[in-house]
Structure 1
Amino acid sequence: MPHYMHYLFSIQVGLLFLTSSLCLSTKAQDYRCPPCEKSNTTYLCRSLPTLGAKIRLCYYNTTPNATLDVVFSMAPLLPVDWVAWGLNPVHAQMIDSQVLIAHRNPDKGVNVSQAVLSYDTKHGCGRVSRSGFEVNIYRASANYFEDSRTMILYAKLGLPHWCNSTRLNHVWQVGPGMNRGEPLRHMMRLQNFDSRETINLTNGHVLGHKRKSLRKAHGILGIIGWGLLLPCGVITVRYFRGLPFDCHLGSRVHAGFQICAYTVGTVGWAIGLSLQADHFATFRAHRIIGITIFCLATLQMLASFLKPTKADRYRHYWNLYHHFVGYALLSLVVINILKGFAILQPPKIWEHTYIGLLILLASIAFVLEIVTWVRFYNLTFEYTFERKIKLPPRPNAGSLVPHHPPATHS
């Protein structure tokens, strides 16, 4: 193995270690909320990970039926928006959830209604069903506070037999108002899709945040692999080819960057491919572009092993193909990374940092492009000038040695 391949392998391992260390999940912070009515209860009070929601749960494991006191709060964008919270008997998902929906009346009062969400409800194809609600509601009310623009839902529920205190699946949501008593469809964002989790009421542990960590890993690996290492490899092969101290350095550095970019990017692509299975219809464009990027990158890697020699007459066509696919790949990468920022909606510093790095790379490429063209025109001018004045051919090294006639002896 050449010596520089050891350095490339070390770089790949270091990049993977660095990005994996950045993908740790964060736990939601607690917040102040009212105490439970009775002692000897299981108490859970926390901020939920999405939509700015907060919840307080008081679990009473009484005989024969367990009860659950709920205080759920959320600040909707508009006062007419509806707010919902509910339980699911099987999984932490929207389908088959039994929810309480709080919404304002035209007279600015607040109503609380119950509903069972079906598959048709999820896709906006049917009305919300009121039948099949198995959770016993002992009391349910809600208030909207104008000063803080917060909707607070209060409920005391009798839990059915399928509610397991060690795995309580609950969901929450917010939507843009009501239409003839039916809640309008909520926004199709990850914040809304991730409004679900599983709670262990006995110890307060929360499950279901592994997917968020995988999304962070997908984004970070995609940015580093496709978004940074790939354009760096293009810059090196275009502007550092044929350096005076090593004519093969540009090609070797280019190959190293592209191997690292393909390795890191493919790992991120595989993670993203597994994550979007649930929301393929919503993020179809992002996924299709990602698959196209992987296919084009694979073709580029395979093409490097089928590169014709300089004497081959097909070398010119291979260069055209390789350059066209490479620049098309870079364009798709930038578009898809920006789409990923719009989907994940991370802190703005991530998007601004990436755009700043793109501007930096583009500026470097612009300056090097100017230097390349200036050098090209200078060489062209020197060649044309020499041909016009028809300079004699330069003498070889032997002709520069002065010739002395042999000495004669008188």
Structure 2
Amino acid sequence: MGFHFPPSLLLLVCLCTTLISAIHATDCSSLKLTGGKKQYSNCTVLPALNSTLHFTYNATNSSLSIAFTASPSKPKGWIAWAVNPTATGMAGSQTLLAFKANGSMVVKTYNISSYSSIVEGKLSFDVWDLEAESDKDGKMVIYGSLKVEVSAEKLNQVWQVGPGIVDGHPMKHDFDKANLAAVGELQLVEKLSPAASSPSPSPQSANSNSGYGMSVTEINAGFWILGLISLIAFM
């Protein structure tokens, strides 16, 4: 004799499964860095080029530590992450660019004054602890720390991937839709709404979840599940 579940119960199971999947999809704590030798307070899936950013903002000394992860567009290519202090695009970007040279990963700095001028040079702010690594699948990670403006709440970030290096110079990246979309704001300090009664325990990016405690998505999903259970109980 088999078991027969009422349609309402099956509907509840399906909805709960969908909601739980959505929760896990936004749980950035599941992102793992290659090597995993450093820990960061926040992480976010960037909206283009299959890339991620882990970061820790230290307001006491106005510094930002980052780990940017992406795959170059070709096996011998490069990846880059940048801050633009004056605009929202590539021109003016202060860039950390990583690639493999003679079998070892290196990170170089580029002050990109224009789209036609990509010259290695000193950035407009201090950077330190620069290093990079890659895994067997070709994914690369740039590690570094940089000085930001005192009391900064957000930064204009730009990231990119490229096909290769010629005579020590990075080749131009593609200008596909994903490449052009690789810009955005990095929220260093979470802005509270006027109705908020208590400060956030730690800074978060606009679309990140550090994995400590429950996110707004998780709480909302919990209320939905409880509401559905109550509704079906009276059906």
Matches within 5 A, 1:242-253: none
Tell me which of 131, 135, 145 is aligned to 2:125.
Answer: 135
**CA RMSD for the aligned pairs?**
2.5
2: CA distance, partners of 1:70 / 1:55: 7
What residue identity is the alignment partner of 1:115? Y
Larger Rg: 1
Tell me the residue number matched to 2:138: 149
Tell me the residue number matched to 1:58: 56
Verify the 8 A CA contact 1:79 1:104 in the aligned structure 2: no
Tell me which of 92, 109, 113 is aligned to 2:108.
Answer: 113
Tell me the residue number matched to 1:185: 172
2:75 aligned with 1:95: no
Give the TM-score of the pair, scaled to structure 2.
Answer: 0.64
Tell me the residue number matched to 1:175: 162
1: CA distance, partners of 2:120 / 2:44: 30
Tell me the residue number matched to 1:85: 81
Verify the 8 A CA contact 1:173 1:192 in the aligned structure 2: yes
What residue identity is the alignment partner of 1:140? L
Q: 1:178 to 1:197 in 2, by over 3 A?
A: same
Tell me the CA shift for residue 139 of structure 1.
Answer: 0.7
Tell me the CA shift for residue 90 of structure 1.
Answer: 2.2
SS at match of 1:206: coil
What residue identity is the alignment partner of 1:92? T
SS at match of 1:140: strand
2:148 aligned with 1:159: yes
Structure with more of its chain in strand, by fraction: 2
For residues 51-79 of structure 1, the C-alpha deviation after alignment (integer angstroms, 9 at most, x for no partner) is: 000110101111xx311110111122323
Give the TM-score of the pair, scaled to structure 1.
Answer: 0.38
Tell me the CA shift for residue 196 of structure 1.
Answer: 0.8
Q: 1:72 to 1:37 in 2, by over 3 A?
A: closer
Tell me the CA shift for residue 36 of structure 1.
Answer: 10
For residues 368-405 of structure 1, the C-alpha deviation after alignment (integer angstroms, 9 at most, x for no partner) is: xxxxxxxxxxxxxxxxxxxxxxxxxxxxxxxxxxxxxx
1: CA distance, partners of 2:106 / 2:175: 25
Tell me the CA shift for residue 144 of structure 1.
Answer: 1.2
Tell me the CA shift for residue 37 of structure 1.
Answer: 6.9
Tell me the CA shift for residue 206 of structure 1.
Answer: 3.2
What residue identity is the alignment partner of 1:85? W
What residue identity is the alignment partner of 1:51? L
Tell me the CA shift for residue 157 of structure 1.
Answer: 1.7
Unaligned runs of 5+ in 1: 1-27, 208-410
2: CA distance, partners of 1:181 / 1:37: 29
2:32 aligned with 1:45: no
Q: 1:37 to 1:80 in 2, by over 3 A?
A: closer
1: CA distance, partners of 2:74 / 2:51: 15
Structure with more of its chain in helix, by fraction: 1
